[in-house]
């Protein structure tokens, strides 16, 4: 299965950069500077590129595993089980990379829209330090803790 080519990376470079001081910060935090916004965008773009490569490699490995799965006529149960575990592992890696890519592209769109750093649940600022530590965050600490308790 081929990875869908997302246009989020393209729109991130084509869209006008978010203006410094416009992105949300918590009370007492310094506003985002142009350099910090550019660094966040560059980091997310690089991560998206890395993930696309990882997904392509995992899909190529899966294609090879699927192609070779019919060749096991002489395999014993241990060989068959080992191949199944390897295939499931590659599928899990590809799935995780796709989900992280989705989150990364979403963060890039949020930068361009000026909503980067706003909690998607309560609408309050997430916090600049949290966004710099985890640039794909979509929830403030309070909302994230509530979500994890459910």
- CA–CA dist 145, 11 (Å, integer): 32
CATH of the domain at 124: 1.20.120.910
Give me the domain span that covers residue 75. 23-149
Q: Going along 5-59, which residue ranges are E strands?
A: none
Q: Is residue 11 part of a domain?
A: no
Q: Is residue 8 part of a domain?
A: no
User: Whose CA is closest to 147, among 129, 127, 130, 122?
Assistant: 122
pTM over 0.85, yes/no: no
CA angle 13–24–108, rounded 5-degree value: 25
Q: Is residue 118 part of a domain?
A: yes
Q: Is residue 7 part of a domain?
A: no
Q: Is residue 99 part of a domain?
A: yes
How many folded domains does the chain comprise?
1
Which of 21-25, 57-61, 65-69, 146-150 has the least mean pLDDT? 65-69
Q: Is residue 9 part of a domain?
A: no
Q: Is residue 44 part of a domain?
A: yes
Q: Is residue 3 part of a domain?
A: no
pLDDT band at 69 (very low <50, low <70, confident <90, very high): low
* Secondary structure of residue 20 in the 3-state scheme: coil
CA distances from 150 to 48, 141, 142, 143, 146 (A): 30, 15, 13, 11, 7
CA distances from 7 to 4, 76, 107, 124 (A): 9, 46, 13, 28
């Amino acid at each position: 299965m081929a990875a869908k080519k997302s246009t989020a990376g393209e729109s991130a470079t084509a869209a006008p950069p978010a203006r410094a001081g416009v992105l949300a910060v918590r009370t007492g935090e310094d506003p985002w500077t142009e350099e910090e916004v550019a660094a966040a965008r560059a980091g997310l773009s690089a991560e998206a590129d890395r993930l696309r490569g990882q997904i392509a490699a995992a899909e190529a490995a899966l294609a090879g595993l699927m192609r070779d799965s019919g060749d096991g006529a002489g395999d014993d149960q241990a060989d068959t089980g080992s191949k199944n575990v390897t295939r499931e592992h590659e599928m899990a890696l590809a799935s995780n990379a796709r989900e992280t890519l989705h989150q990364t592209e979403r963060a890039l769109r949020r930068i361009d829209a000026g909503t980067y750093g706003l909690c998607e649940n309560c609408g309050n600022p997430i916090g600049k330090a949290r966004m710099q530590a985890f640039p794909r965050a979509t929830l403030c600490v309070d909302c994230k803790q509530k979500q994890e308790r459910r």
